[in-house]
Amino acid sequence: MNPRLLIALYLLIVLLPLGLSWAGERPPRSLWDELASGAGMLAFAIVLAEFLLSGRFRTVSNRIGMDVTMRFHQLLARSALALALVHPFLYSAPTKPAYPWDTTRQLTLSDDFSAYSTGLFAWLLLPVLVLLAIGRSRLDYRYETWRLMHGIGAALIAGLLLHHTLHAGRYSQDPLLAGVWKGLFEIALASLLFVYLVKPALKRLSPWVVERVRKVGLKTWEVTIAPQGHKGLRYQAGQFVWLNIGHGAASLAENPFSISSAPASGNRLQFIIKELGDFTRTVGDIAPGTRAHVDGPHGNLVVTGRKEPGIALIAGGVGIAPLIGILRQLHYEGDARPTTLVYGNRVAEQMACREELETLTREHGTRVVHALYEPPEGWTGRTGMCDGDLIREVFDSAEARQWLYVLCGPPAMMEVVETALIGMGVSAGQILSERFDYG
């Protein structure tokens, strides 16, 4: 979806309850009471919209990227938290039964304890949910355990907030606004059920099987999977999938991996996986024939349809995975545009697909620039990090400033390279990048 349309839709969802409250027939109260109610409504609306920003919906994330979607999910959660935390402290009206002449409750707040208690529980749980998510990488959780807790916690908070809003909220006594809250809640819940129930069911219908696992570099493996009883996946070079190997379709034990194969090469999918975490350390032990499930494709690291006169691919370590997929596809298609690959690694043994890159240089004319941080004796290539100096050395020409740049690697490398490219005069629109570290 177009990013501007996404922003407009987002604001529409988040501001709708406030707008309906404004348009309703209840007269305004004091500034502080209205700020309090408004903050509460906005916090709840942002919480509900967070379900759609979970990164699993291609309609939302395909144009802007899953990493950008997840970043907004993280940032907007902080806005919701801030609004929710101040919400109860802004009220100035007394909590007591309504005066007989005050039918719109302009002068008092509801004294229904059950309606407050759900708000209080949500008020206590929301900071815990946000803080656990912010500190996830520092806590000793398995990713799937955290994800399950996060999903259940979010659904619980949304349910508590719905009860609190419908029973304690002054404006939510309006049937139209109450219907909107219920509708938004149902959409949020349906999105969760879609991710946890419908998607696994669809994955069960389209299983895959591991065909081959081979070592392609130091602690780096290439995994090939083949479709079982279906035609495979329609994807574009550079995209990624959530891959689950050896678990049931409904298992949360899945990780995002870039597809390193080219769509033109057939219906097998290949992945280049480095031993980094719980699952990846065991990749070398996966036996051919193991069942796999795929959720995707996702991602916007796609050069299809781009008209730039040349394509630069800049990879750090295992970031080569989607970029070799793009190079393979360009080679299959006979794309005549010049291509340059800058490939940084710590040591020579980490370089994956070295022979294939040499073949691509010979047959496709791809210029490959290797950079090693700890080069071996007799190394004649670049030494050091894949940094701004290297990028300026390789690409600082009027012609290369018009190229398309595709980046994949560690976050620090991507930031340095992106800053260097923008400093050289390359427009941000010519730079494609996708991060897999969501913090």
Partner 1 sequence: MDRWLAKRSAEGRNRVVYRVLNLAIILALLLFALRGLLTTG
Residues that bind partner 1 (CB under 8 A): 7, 10-11, 14-15, 18, 21-22, 27-29, 31, 34-35, 38-39, 42, 46, 67-68, 71-72, 75-76, 79, 415, 418-419, 422, 427-429, 431, 433
Q: What is the DSSP letter of 99?
A: P
Q: Which residues contact 106 (CB under 8 A, 6 or more apart)?
A: 26, 27, 29
Judged by beta carbon, residue 224 or residue 430, the one nearer partner 1 is 430
Name the strand (E) or helix (H) holding 271.
strand 269-274
Rounded to whole angstroms, the Cα distance separating 64 from 49 reads: 17
Closest by CA to 346, choosing from 322, 379, 311, is 379
Q: What is the phi/psi pair of residue 404, to 5°?
A: -95, 135
DSSP summary character for residue 95: B
Query: Cβ 428 to partner 1, closest distance in Å?
Result: 5
Nearer to partner 1, 67 or 254 (CB): 67
Residue pair 218/347 in contact by the 8 Å Cβ criterion: yes
CB of 179 to partner 1, least distance (A): 20
* Shortest reach from residue 410's CB to partner 1, in Å: 14
Nearest residue (CB) to partner 1, 67 versus 295: 67
Q: Which is nearer to partner 1, 198 or 412 (CB)?
A: 412
Q: In this complex, which beta carbon is closest to partner 1, that of residue 36 or of residue 161?
A: 36
Nearest in space to 47 (alpha carbons), one of 147, 122, 133: 122
State the nearest-atom distance from the C-beta of 429 to partner 1, in Å: 6
Residues in contact with 361: Cβ distance below 8 Å, sequence separation at least 6, in sequence order: 367, 368
Q: Report, in Å, the least distance between residue 415 CB and partner 1.
A: 7
Smaller CB distance to partner 1: residue 133 or 352? 133
SS3 302: coil
Minimum Å gap between C-beta 391 and partner 1 is 14
CA dist., res. 395 & res. 387, Å (int)? 12
> Least distance in Å: CB of 432 to partner 1?
10
Asked if residue 366 lies in contact with residue 327, where contact means CB atoms within 8 angstroms, the answer is yes
- Residue 192 or 424: the one with the smaller Cβ distance to partner 1 is 424
